[in-house]
Amino acid sequence: ARLVDTAEVSATPLEDRLERLGRRLIWITLAIAGVTTVLGIAGGRGLLLMIETGLALAVAAIPEGLPIVATIALARGMWRMAARRALINRLAAVETLGATTLILTDKTGTLTENRMALRRIELADGSVAVMGEGLSTEGRLEIDGKPVEPVAGTPLRALLETAVLCSNATLRLDGARVVGALGDPMEVAFLLAGLRAGIDRSRLLTERPEEHETAFDRATRMMATYHRLPGSGFEVAVKGAPEAVLEACTRQLAKDGERP
């Protein structure tokens, strides 16, 4: 924001060209007026008369209608862009847009809100829809339009718990309403999906405290968090590129139990 506030307003290409043209016309006009005055005096005309003639010639040669013509041309371009639903606040912007060859822009806050949402979970035995909007924790899981509960020991529950545990994102809650989110948008989406399914990360961490984290690495393309289980032992929650995670797996959890 500070850089935007201190940004200098530069002239458009058309304004630069008009300024250069104006300078040239001034010098050319002064030269012609001077030559005319000198030749008139040399030809026997009166000094005062030739000075007046030179000044009149200089004033008459200045193209006073040039800015008006440029304004009319820009206004016509503005009108044509308005017909295509492009709103222009400054006439000079019409010419600038016409001369633009490369646009670098950040879509966040314009085309998107820098948010992600988990809408659907694909399991081996079916698809689960995640219902809910925005940062609201209100929602539910559905299969074919019918509510479903992520029962302990099922692939759905294991998947959601893994997504919630393997995360650095945090949510600020005011009752059942999220008033703020900090972290990667994808991880925020996982936490919201977990809350809509009745899985709270803080409660899970109380039962299975995090002992260590392996941050996402470009070489492994995975992230892992290590959690101490009640009693003894550890549980590792992993997320990452599908091909990298699948290559590291030796077994899968299905509806009827573990499989090779």
> Catalytic positions, please?
106
* One-letter amino acid of 251: R
Contact assessment for residue 171 and residue 178, using Cβ atoms and an 8 Å cutoff:
yes
Q: Specify whether the CB–CB gap between 196 and 140 falls below 8 A.
A: yes
Residues in the chain: 260
Helices (H) and strands (E) in the chain, counts: 9, 11
User: CA-CA distance, 52 to 29, in Å (whole number)?
Assistant: 14
Nearest by Cα to 136 from 191, 184, 176, 171:
176
Q: Is 170 helix (H, G, I), strand (E, B) or coil?
A: strand
Q: Which of 156, 147, 161 is nearest to 239 (CA)?
A: 161
Q: How many CB atoms lie within 10 A of CB 192?
A: 26
Residue 61, Ramachandran bin (φ over 0: left; ψ between -120 and 50: alpha; else beta): alpha
Give the dihedral of Cα atoms 214, 216, 221, 225; nearest 10 deg: 40
3-state secondary structure of 152: coil
